[in-house]
Amino acid sequence: MAENRGRFITFEGIDGCGKSTQIHRLKQRMETMSLPCWETFEPSSGPVGSMLRQCLSGRMKTDERTMATLFAADRLDHLLNDQDGIFLKIRQGIHVICDRYTLSNYAYQGVSTSLDWIEGLNSEAGKILRPDYHIFIDVEPEVSLERMAKTRFHRDLYETRERLTEVRNCYFSLIDRFQEDENILVVDGSQEADAIAETIWENISFLFE
């Protein structure tokens, strides 16, 4: 791909870790610098993503393996669709910031299904485009649950202490497994939002030079 392609940054972490705040700050900073950027999220707003949101809210019931497959299918559609697909934006020189990506699939569905299998499900997406940086914002499940108690009326499928603990542990083993091949930044999410934003920028600003 041409060198003036956009960069692809993904944010990861357990629910309530503060991703939204940091995504917003990064986008604002990039806009101030006149860097073209586009913010997006998974599950996406596309057809498969909408189905997944119904599964997460409990409106639709399905098996964990089906969920894992749907998340991977949603990712491919999010990447490849010709209206607002990530790959299209990147080719147009637009930087993409995505709230959750492949690591979420491994960390959340890896708790109940096989990691190797999920790796297989995501292999096509990996051949097409890999994030330039994965930013993992780490918080203890207690912090995450406290934050969610203040801001949300309803808890989604994975938003229990037990599951969040398993997911966080899964994130740590993934980081060990992938850190040689992928750029992964682990940030302490219990710090002030300004300090977190600075750490993120110090580590990724070189991508935009």
Which residues contribute to the site for ligand TYD (CB under 6 A)?
15, 42-43, 56, 71, 99-100, 104-105, 108-109, 156, 158
Rounded to the nearest whole angstrom, what is the least distance from the CB of residue 141 to ligand TYD in the complex?
Answer: 13
Q: Which residues of 84-103 are buried (b: 16+ CB within 10 A; e: fewer)?
A: ebbbbbbeeebbbbbbbbbb
In the complex, which residue's CB is closest to ligand TYD?
108
Rounded to the nearest whole angstrom, what is the least distance from the CB of residue 56 to ligand TYD in the complex?
Answer: 5
Rounded to the nearest whole angstrom, what is the least distance from the CB of residue 109 to ligand TYD in the complex?
Answer: 6
CA 116 to centroid of chain Cα atoms: 19
97: helix, strand or coil: strand
Question: 23 or 200, CB closer to ligand TYD?
Answer: 23
Question: 142 or 202, CB closer to ligand TYD?
Answer: 142
Structure-block tokens of residue 167: 């997911």
Beta strands in 6-121 (DSSP E): 8-12, 37-41, 95-99
Rounded to the nearest whole angstrom, what is the least distance from the CB of residue 16 to ligand TYD in the complex?
Answer: 8
